[in-house]
Amino acid sequence: MKQFKTAPTRRQWLALTAAASAAFSVGVQAQSTWPTKPVTLVVPFPAGGGTDAFARPFSAQFSKQSGKTLVIDNRGGAGGNLGASVAAKAAPDGYTLFMGAVHHSIAPAMYPKLDYDLERDFVPIAMVASVPHVLVVNPKNVPGDFKAFLQMVRNNPGKFNYGSAGGGTSHHLAGELFKLQSKTFITHIPYRGAGPALQDLIAGNVDMMFDGLGSSAQHIKGGRIKALMVSGNKRNPSFPDVPCAAELGLPDYNVTTWYGLWAPKGTPVDVQTRIVEEVRKAAASDDIKTSWSNSGAEFPALTGVQFGQFVTGEIKKWAAVVKASGAKLD
């Protein structure tokens, strides 16, 4: 507060009172009334991919419970980094949020010249979904079960290919990790998002994907693609007939895709708190529970600092995987 050498005049007192009142009013408004207008959610991949598959039902639920629209802004490109860069530069007022994913914890190890920093330019809000990776194939290109598939790719190194959401994404790293652990060679074809890659898989233009279950689930159920394996040491309850990696002789193949919400650095703490409240309310809704279950996903209870600590651990983990696998941008 401004210091006066003599008693403040009436005009000075009025100015101070008005300033204090305005500051209090802004604080109360941020705490109690956010959102007062539509909120933009930057999704850094095209429609049809895993991030978008969780963003859309979340957006619908947010609008239902808050009374304000959550507008999805798909900004695909550079393995999800273009959208992240756009979101990092947005005004920190709570009206632009970013739905990133595990890909953004891989990016620092794959892209040496990123123009944003996930830990410095954003504040972590909440993890909103976690799903295992799934090996999915076009059944016309790759017939049979996992055993037949593995024999086929081992006998024909380089003949088969896999699509990914882009270089440096979890799809890419999941494929490279599979090749490393299964002692196979499969050609990598990067796309601008999982949605376009899935469309080419369904069309038979690529042979397989190591996809997050969230974007593949409905296509598996519809018979358009076939699931041969889910990552990890247990089957997914939504797809109990699909064997897990540990059953198939790959006990260390444990790749999970997760999705989270961030806000630009500088977003007021009161607004961050309100966003977390809306996320928790959405997670408890029947519509979100059903949608997540249908996708084989969980809604983890990680918010704020705890989510941030998790992301820091993921950045370190994936840097080690990138180094061990020798993965590079194509």
* CA 51/CA 40 separation, integer angstroms: 15
Same domain, 118 and 71: yes
Q: Does a structural domain hold residue 199?
A: yes
Same domain, 124 and 159: no
The rounded mean pLDDT for the chain is 90
Q: Please name every residue paired with 258 in a beta bridge, in sequence order, or none if there are none.
A: 130
CATH number at residue 155: 3.40.190.10
Q: Does a structural domain hold residue 5?
A: no
Same domain, 267 and 317: yes
Same domain, 142 and 93: no
Same domain, 145 and 236: yes
Kindly state the tokens that stand for 169: 């994404």
Model confidence pLDDT, tens digit, residues 28-49 = 444 458 999 999 999 999 888 8
Q: Does a structural domain hold residue 253?
A: no
* CA 235/CA 221 separation, integer angstroms: 16
Same domain, 282 and 316: yes
Same domain, 91 and 183: no
Same domain, 140 and 241: yes
The amino acid at residue 47 is A
The amino acid at residue 304 is G
* Share of residues in the chain with pLDDT > 70 (%): 90
Long-range contacts of 142-151 (CB under 8 A, 24+ apart): 142/207, 142/208, 142/226, 145/228, 146/228, 146/229, 146/243, 146/248, 147/248, 149/228, 150/182, 150/184
For residues 85-97, give the mean pLDDT.
Answer: 98
Domain boundary among 248, 274, 298: 248
**What is the total count of domains within the chain?**
2
Model confidence pLDDT, tens digit, residues 268-288 = 999 999 999 999 999 999 999
Q: How confident is the model at residue 27 (pLDDT cuts 50, 70, 90)?
A: very low
Which of 122, 113, 115, 118 minimizes the C-alpha distance to 103? 118
Structural domain for 219, as ranges: 132-248
Kindly state the tokens that stand for 109: 């190890």
For residues 61-65, give the mean pLDDT.
Answer: 97
DSSP symbols for 155-197: HSTTTSEEEESSTTSHHHHHHHHHHHHHT---EEEE-SSHHHH
Beta strands 208-212; 122-137: pairing state: antiparallel
Which of 302, 329, 330, 295 minimizes the C-alpha distance to 50? 295
Q: How confident is the model at residue 326 (pLDDT cuts 50, 70, 90)?
A: confident
Same domain, 189 and 244: yes
* Share of residues in the chain with pLDDT > 90 (%): 79
For residues 58-62, give the mean pLDDT.
Answer: 98
Handedness of CA 176, 178, 183, 187 (dihedral sign): negative
The amino acid at residue 116 is Y
Domain boundary among 213, 248, 283: 248
Q: Does a structural domain hold residue 10?
A: no
Judge whether 263 and 92 are in contact, CB under 8 Å: yes
Q: How confident is the model at residue 112 (pLDDT cuts 50, 70, 90)?
A: confident
Q: How confident is the model at residue 329 (pLDDT cuts 50, 70, 90)?
A: confident
Give the pLDDT score at 239.
Answer: 95
* CA 94/CA 268 separation, integer angstroms: 8
Taking phi first (over 0 means left), then psi (-120 to 50 degrees means alpha), and beta for anything else, what does residue 220 get? alpha
Q: What angle do CA 305, 50, 128 make, to 5 degrees?
A: 25
Give the pLDDT score at 231.
Answer: 96
CATH number at residue 262: 3.40.190.150
Give the pLDDT score at 203.
Answer: 97
Kindly state the tokens that stand for 56: 């859309």
Give the pLDDT score at 9.
Answer: 59
Q: Does a structural domain hold residue 154?
A: yes
Give the pLDDT score at 16.
Answer: 47
* CA 279/CA 128 separation, integer angstroms: 8
Same domain, 74 and 171: no
Give the pLDDT score at 25.
Answer: 44
* CA 113/CA 108 separation, integer angstroms: 8
Same domain, 264 and 119: yes
Measured CA to CA in angstroms, residue 104 lies from 57, 79, 259, 290 at distances of 22, 9, 10, 27
Same domain, 155 and 233: yes
Kindly state the tokens that stand for 226: 């076939």
3-state secondary structure of 128: strand
Domain boundary among 196, 213, 248: 248
Q: Does a structural domain hold residue 168?
A: yes
Q: Does a structural domain hold residue 193?
A: yes
Q: Does a structural domain hold residue 3?
A: no
